[in-house]
Amino acid sequence: MRKLPAVIAVLGLAAVALVGCSSGSGASASCSRPTDTSSATMDLISVSGPTDAKPTVTVHTPLHATSTQFADVKTGKGVVPITTGKQLVVLDVSLTSATTGKTIVTTAYDGSDSTVLSVSQWSKSFPGFRKALQCATAGTRIALAVAPDGIESQAAQSLSLGKDDSVVAVLDVRKVYLAAANGALVYNSGWGLPAVVRAPNGRPGVVVPDSPAPQNLTVQVLKSGDGQKVTGERPVRLHYTVVNWTDKSVASTTWDGDPPSVTLSSMSKGFQDAVKGQRVGSQIMAIVPKSDGTQGVDDTQIVVIDILGIDAPGVAASQ
């Protein structure tokens, strides 16, 4: 039995927008699971077994799906839904031939939560997964009858599938990272300090005042999350934007790609002090003087940080 990382090797980066969901904070109240599945097709598939182990899949073969259909085997109790293709997730996946009923490939199902990929990366090779994952939360198990057009040709070839072959997939959603900070807004007086505005997807913009920059590290909590506390012992998944105080230019941002996995000890002292002790879901603004900033930067910088999740030990992240 081949291992799924051989398939992951062919995945590319492609922006995928999921319809029907709010893409902002990740609050599940505004996100509803799709219901347009075909019971006639899904009645030919049986999935059993505990969701923390490889599923037992029975297929009334041969099955040919003319369009990708899906149904929830179990609804997860996670509170963060999948709302955007750029959102990071941890999935366990089992693929079964719809022609023979034999297992083609599975992930490890080892409970490590160590392979973190964006929904768009999965959907690049398995476009049939896209709608099935819409608004799903951690703990959800989904069964799919994947039509031939639901698997990208290179991925199908790597699995030795014919152009007309359908596949039965079982997706176990292990972990869902926030798309953006979703904590409660916090009032800050902020006289003489930068102001932060946000796009609908949560991406921040910074309005820098003309006043002189503070001489000391200044940290404000803009959104107060209630997730895990950042201790610095494990990598933390962040989006951040860095703006220079003097010329008001954006020095760097992570928002154009996937949020990186950050080891705090690799960051500047000011960055570390701003993030350590904060909770997942928080948005932080730090004004970092050059004495506490990145080596070689000769300016005060404003850093706006969204804390999206904490990685498992040994995480294998695709940057």
Per the rule left: phi > 0, alpha: psi between -120 and 50, beta: everything else, 84 is beta
Amino acid 17: pLDDT: 36
Nearest CA to 261 out of 290, 230, 235, 226 is that of 235
Lowest mean pLDDT among 14-23, 108-117, 236-245: 14-23
The reply to whether 2-176 and 184-317 are identical in fold is yes
Q: In which element (H, E) is residue 207 found?
A: strand 204-207
Omega prior to 148 cis, within 30 of 0: no
Amino acid (one-letter) located at 316: A
Amino acid 115: pLDDT: 87
Instruction: Give dist(CA 92, CA 241) in Å, integer.
Output: 32
pLDDT tens for each residue of 136-195: 999 999 999 999 999 999 999 999 999 999 999 999 999 999 999 999 999 988 788 999
Number of neighbours of residue 132 by Cβ within 10 angstroms: 26
How much is the average pLDDT of 226-243? 96
Task: Judge: domain 184-317, CATH 3.10.50.40.
Answer: yes
Handedness of CA 210, 212, 215, 216 (dihedral sign): negative
60-85 CB burial, b ≥16 within 10 A, e <16: eeebebeebbbbebeebebebbbbbb
Amino acid 21: pLDDT: 42
Task: Judge: domain 2-176, CATH 1.10.3720.10.
Answer: no
Number of neighbours of residue 160 by Cβ within 10 angstroms: 10
**Selected residue with higher pLDDT from 203 and 317:** 203
Of the pLDDT bands very low, low, confident and very high (cuts 50, 70, 90), residue 54 is very high
**Selected residue with higher pLDDT from 189 and 199:** 199
What's the Cα-to-Cα distance from 185 to each of 221, 225, 282, 304, rounded to whole Å? Answer: 9, 9, 9, 14
Of the pLDDT bands very low, low, confident and very high (cuts 50, 70, 90), residue 284 is very high
Largest CA distance in the chain: 72
Amino acid 2: pLDDT: 47
Amino acid 39: pLDDT: 75
The reported pTM is: 0.88
Q: Where are the domains of the chain?
A: 2-176, 184-317
